[in-house]
């Protein structure tokens, strides 16, 4: 069971419904239109009854749609160098920074939605963001166990410090991650954080 298949595998008809509803949701979001049940029914061809049967609320549906096209958890090699594993999972293909199926426009829209709706924010946090963090936190814990990283680290707090650098670029500065100045600043900041983590 992964966020891409919240109802488990083996239900191809339902996944087809998911796909149509998510596509309709994202097309509304990308067009800056409000997501309503009526519009979803109209655009997806899925019945209102099926929508309500499948998702307990529009909030839940939107959170699922926003995450649907993102790649799954990055594969992280726990045998290699811890720093490379963590930084690779952030900067590498399929990593946090990669725009794989998740454009800046959609990121900005997601932030607008969650800032307007704390229930959606909590739903999105619990169902997606916190799960997406898990494999990287696992690498950090492996680093602690090996003695590469300090044994008094609060791994969740460390991850907040790492990923907070990115959020700040997008949310406060309004800078693009592919801007060379942004890349340089992010790398400098992550060097500082990492230095504070090593044993």
Residues that bind a copy of itself (CB under 8 A): 108-109, 111-112, 114-116, 118, 121-122, 125, 129, 153-154, 156-158, 160-161, 163-169, 171-174, 184-186, 188-197
User: Shortest gap between Cβ of 135 and a copy of itself (angstroms)?
Assistant: 17
User: Shortest gap between Cβ of 56 and a copy of itself (angstroms)?
Assistant: 19
Which residues are CB-neighbours of 193 under 8 A, at least 6 positions away?
158, 161, 162, 165
- Alpha carbons 199 and 196: distance in angstroms, whole number: 8
Q: Which is nearer to a copy of itself, 18 or 123 (CB)?
A: 123
Asked whether the beta carbons of 54 and 48 are under 8 A apart, the reply is no
Q: Which is nearer to a copy of itself, 17 or 140 (CB)?
A: 140
- Alpha carbons 174 and 169: distance in angstroms, whole number: 6
For the chain, percent helix, then strand, then coil, each to nearest 5?
Answer: 65, 0, 30
Q: Which is nearer to a copy of itself, 102 or 166 (CB)?
A: 166
Q: Which is nearer to a copy of itself, 71 or 182 (CB)?
A: 182
């Amino acid at each position: 069971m992964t966020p891409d298949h919240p109802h488990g595998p083996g239900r191809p008809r339902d996944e087809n419904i998911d796909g149509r509803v998510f596509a309709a949701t994202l097309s509304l979001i990308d067009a800056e239109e409000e997501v309503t049940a009526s519009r979803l029914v109209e655009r997806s061809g899925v019945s209102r009854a099926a929508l309500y049967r499948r998702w307990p609320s529009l909030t839940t549906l939107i959170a699922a749609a926003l995450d649907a096209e993102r790649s799954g958890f990055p594969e992280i090699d726990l045998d290699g160098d811890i720093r490379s594993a963590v930084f690779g999972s952030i900067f590498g293909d399929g990593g946090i920074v990669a725009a794989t199926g998740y454009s800046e426009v959609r990121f900005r829209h997601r932030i607008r939605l969650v800032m307007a709706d704390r229930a959606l924010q909590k739903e999105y946090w619990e169902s997606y963001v916190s799960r997406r963090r898990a494999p990287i936190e696992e690498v950090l814990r492996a680093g602690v166990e090996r003695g590469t990283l300090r044994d008094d680290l609060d791994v969740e707090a460390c991850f907040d410090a790492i990923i907070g650098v990115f959020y700040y670029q997008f949310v406060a500065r309004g800078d693009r991650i592919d801007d060379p100045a942004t890349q340089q600043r992010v790398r400098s900041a992550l060097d500082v954080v990492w230095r504070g983590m090593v044993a």
